Structure formats: C-alpha cells, structure tokens
Amino acid sequence: GGVGKTTLAKTIFNHEEIRGHFDETIWICVSEPFLINKILGAILQMIKGVSSGLDNKEALLRELQKVMRGKRYFLVLDDVW
C-alpha cells in the first residue's frame, strides 16, 4: 500500500475522455472483510439505482448479467486486500 494506486485510478476514472467510452462508470470501495455478495450487491445497486434485495450469490450474478448485457462498464474495485 501507499504507492498511489488509488490516486492513479481516480485520475483515470475521472478523465472525461475515458469516461466517454463507457455507458456506466462504477467505483466500489472493497474493505475487509471481503464479502462477495456485498460487493455484487453494491455493483448492482450502482447500476440500478436501488437495492436489489437479493443476497444469494447466484441470483446476484444472474441479475448483474441481465442488466449489464450489451453495455460497456468501467468498474474500479478499490482497497482490495
């Protein structure tokens, strides 16, 4: 840690020309403990704008596939351990 990875990622993430290549940009801060269902739910909430209410990994993945199909996403997972 401490070498500027988040700063570099934020610079790229916020660059208008780069953002213009994607339908959606999503920044998720992943902290310990690493809970895959929580991360998938957060991504889904960012896309849909509301909580899905789903807590099963397979259901979350199916819903993500459905809403993400045919679109380009720039997804940053920050603070992954």
CA dihedral sign, ordered 18, 19, 21, 27: positive
- In tens, the pLDDT along 4-17 reads 899 999 999 999 99
CA dihedral sign, ordered 57, 36, 25, 45: positive
pTM exceeding the 0.85 threshold for the entire prediction: no
- Domain-by-domain residue ranges, the chain? 5-78
- In tens, the pLDDT along 56-71 reads 999 999 999 999 999 9
Q: pLDDT above 90 covers what percent of the chain? A: 74
DSSP-derived secondary structure letter, 70: T
State the SS3 of 12-68: HHCCHHHHCCCCEEEEEECCCCCCHHHHHHHHHHHHHCCCCCCCCHHHHHHHHHHHH
